[in-house]
Structure 1
Amino acid sequence: MHDRFKPQPDFLADGGVMGERIRHHDWSSTPVGPIETWPDSLRTAVSMMLHSKFPIYMLWGQELTSFYNDAYVPVLGSKSEALGRSFRDVWAEAWATVGPIAEKALLGQASYFEDLPITLERNGYPEQTWWTFSYSPIHDESGEIGGIVCIVHETTGKVQGEQRLDFLVRLSDRLRGLNEPIEVITAAQEMLGEHLRTSRVGYGEVEETARYFTTERNWTDGTVAHQTGTHDLAAFGPEIHGALTRGETLVVHDAAQDPRTNSPEHLAAFAALEFCAVITCSLIKRGRMVAALYVHNRTPRLWSESEVKLIEDVAERTWDAVERVRTEAALRKSEERLQLAIQASSVVGTWDWDVPSNLIYADERFARLFGIDPKVIATGVPLNSFTTGIHPKDRERIEEQIRKALETGEHYAAEYRTIGIDGQVHWVSAQGRCYYVAGQPVRFPGIVVDITDQKRAEEHQQLLIHELNHRVKNTLATVQSIASQTIRNAGTMEEARSAMEARLLALSRAHDVLTRENWEGAGLLEIVQEAMAPYRHEREERIRMEGPDVRLSPRMALAIAMALQELATNAVKYGALSNERGEVRIAWSVNDAPEKRLHLTWSETSGPTVSIPQRRGFGTRLIERSLAQDLHGKATIDFAPTGIVCTVDAPIA
């Protein structure tokens, strides 16, 4: 029979998409020749490659003719026509790195590399990637080396994740010692630009209309000009402007190819600003866009998810650091004003006590501080008229100090409260000294300074310190619990990291709401909206919230926020928000009798069928135990087949 009537070789059977492509490829024009002529060693190697679930790239002959399996296809990106071509041509941009490795394999030397950095152009742009791979020689029937098998695993995401965490630690260390907003911004821009090896990085603030963006200083690598000043965000079009004002991160790999930016007007604007690729991270605080961090690349660039996440993290940390130094500066100015006030305080009253007659003579200002008629004080009043004006809680102490100064002749200095002629409490600082004649006290003159403002400032500062100490202790206890329980219940460190990050962000969002309210409480509606904000993007109509805007204590607000975070995370992974149809309804009401109580229900519908979990996770325990304890109420979770229903019933403190 003629060769053309031979049946197709069965070594390609069940070889997936690439098996069929190899079967129908015109191999006669390649160095390996028609399939019918392939040696058994090549057929066996191809069959093993096709049936592997791991990405494998195989080369045959001195010409390094390319073969690969289905798992390797994503690695190629836009190089989908690599089959049958020379490895040297397919990966020409990486040949300087991998060529010597392949040549060693042809000489019989196997190689293994872990997290090797390689720059590829598999999507039209230079892209920094990392790989763990091995090159091993394949022997043919004669015992000679017929080809190379390359088993690969892309580790770009892992390496970039590790680099991101390391970068954020270094960024925090650098920002920690800075005291001016512009120093913080400059340092963050410089570090981010050098880390990403990009063209320009800028951070700026947005005025109240969320339209005009101002940057005082930016960083460049020297290939593009600085772009400072005020820019109109609306000039980039309603789609981009709207996305930014909603807090979305704008990611453009190639302005000329992106439908949002490829209009002549947009391209002209981008050309004027000298960039083709951009990431702009919008920061939403107190319900509006307040700032943004942008990264420009002069040429098209395929931004990775890790790079986008890094920029978002840097934006948040820059904002936090800027706010920190501004707050610290305000506190320093407040302390300076307090010190100046103390130093510049003028004497507001004088007295002169005639000890033998027991009459005190003083000026009008002194009289008003102690609730004495100014018309009477000039002619003298008994000592008890003076001491009657001292606050009852301080009177006994001051009388004892006066007695001691009278007996010993020591300098008299005291701070105490008085009841003024206006009925208000005043703080005064009093100083004086007793004078003697023949060992007997005769005169006791002195002055008083009104230090009410100083004392109020000190009391307020102490209140803030105690409140801050209380909050820090509570927050640390919460974070410790989250970390301990998350690590204990997570299957992997990546799962633990992701869960811990989500829980800490939920805690942070709740703290933001309480901070805006000076930690006096928070509205339940705002707590629910903030807790669900990360999950409402593209699910706006699927998450419904309804109920009165009742005020909650800080403790109750935090407990509700953390519970909603756990429920939302579970819904996204397994529940109603894991498909395209499911819905979540969060409803609450208040019952005033016999005590004011909150009744809140989380209910899921149209999601996957729910089955009762075999074990209770940290989220479930947090809701059913910790939440119930924190609120002194009851919290239950019903794993109904049609959707999870969580109910909370607790008194409103």
Structure 2
Amino acid sequence: MRDRTEAMLPALTEVLDAPQRLTVLHAAVPDMSIPDGDFDALARLAASLFDAPIARVSLVDREWQWLKATVGTTETRLRAADSFCSHTIADGEERGFVVLDASRHPTFRHRRRVAQAPFLRFYAGAPIMLDGQAVGTVSVLDVAPRSEVSARQQDELQRLAGIAASLFRLKDESRRRALKEAALSREEQRLAMALDAANVGSWLWDIGAGTVAGNGAMMRMFGLPPERTIGAKAVFSAIHPDDRLPTFSKLRQAMAANEEYDGMFRIGANGRWLLGRGRVHDRDSKGAPVTFLGMTVDVSDQQASVQRTRLLLKELNHRVKNTLAMLQSLARQTLRQTSDPAEFMTAFAGRLQAISEAHVLLSDYEWGTIRLSELISKQLAPYVSDYDQQVELHKDEILLGPDQAVGLGLVLHELATNAVKYGALSVPRGKIVLTARSVDDRESVLHLTWTEVGGPPVREPCRRGFGSILIERSLDKVIGSSVKVEYLPGGVTALIRLPL
């Protein structure tokens, strides 16, 4: 800690305006203007250490010094250009900056608070360092000059600044954790609503702990209390006695062979028929299964129908199995791409909703064919504020079958999601132009072109994420289909070929 002249200091403006410093400051403490009682004890310790009437814990941005905690003053902010603490920031010394007698100091003697009341004379401050950047200070002031500052006082003031930095970090981590938890809670609610809308029960069996975590739909299907986690024994006991052993044996066989479980069983209490599908999600170092991820669908009404309904059920079961298999694959692939629960919930819920929208349309038409324009509207409407202005569609009248509708629905969802994040739908004036033509080339083929217009400049990504892979593979069930995405400077273009 040294008494330095202004000529020895870097330009204050350059230091205070440093982008990296301001980025660290605003990221860690977005609420600088609000005093914080958690720092009061540090201000009192600093005042006691120097036997000084004024002490402050403060943050300094490009224009203002914000006082988070004070002793001996009621001020909440000061102009950074007039502040002693700005020089502590600019000085660059972690041990701090000191002015023994401001009335004799060439930099400070003409300052208003020195030449006029309260006639400040002594100042000592130590920088608060976050990520290598000086973002604030712990400082003391006195109206009487000092002849020296002891090494012990210097060290203790620096330690107080270090404690302040640690407290700011802890508070920032707590704030970020609360935001993540709130976002995760919202995404869990959205995912639960999407699954309920699709009438799909999802569950995760922790084999070692002997517990099953399931959503509301799954608990209702099994006639169990609405708790999110319940003993596995209670779940298996809910299955009809005649189906319990075959179901459990089939699960064990699937786990041992590392294959998909696919089975149908009744619930003992109400006789409802459930279709289940799942497989091992995690294994330990010895290869033993740890968790089992599965989904169930209530198919009771179809089981109880007459022959016409049974014929429809056969087709529906096929579609449900395909959908459950797709959901299983989506869940596993999305989990592999991110370890962040909030990011997983956002990505998986969006893809699940895209499948659900296609299923709703197909269900309305009894799993026959649906119009392409309806599918496009269902998939894109949630991502635009003005559909007529932001979606331009040039099309032939085209009908899609179930496999085409579900696969194309996922492709449109992923393209729209990327457009909202990075492309044309990330800016108010951007829009999507779609051209759909039915071409007779030995067979009827849909040629669909997706073009983004008015968005930010486009660069091809360095790494292909799961979204890109999903765009390319969503139509794998339709032989002869293809999707080609081109990252042109003016906007992303996707060329889709789909036999009808």
The TM-score with structure 1 as length reference comes to 0.38
The TM-score with structure 2 as length reference comes to 0.48
RCO comparison, higher one (Cα < 8 Å, 6+): 2
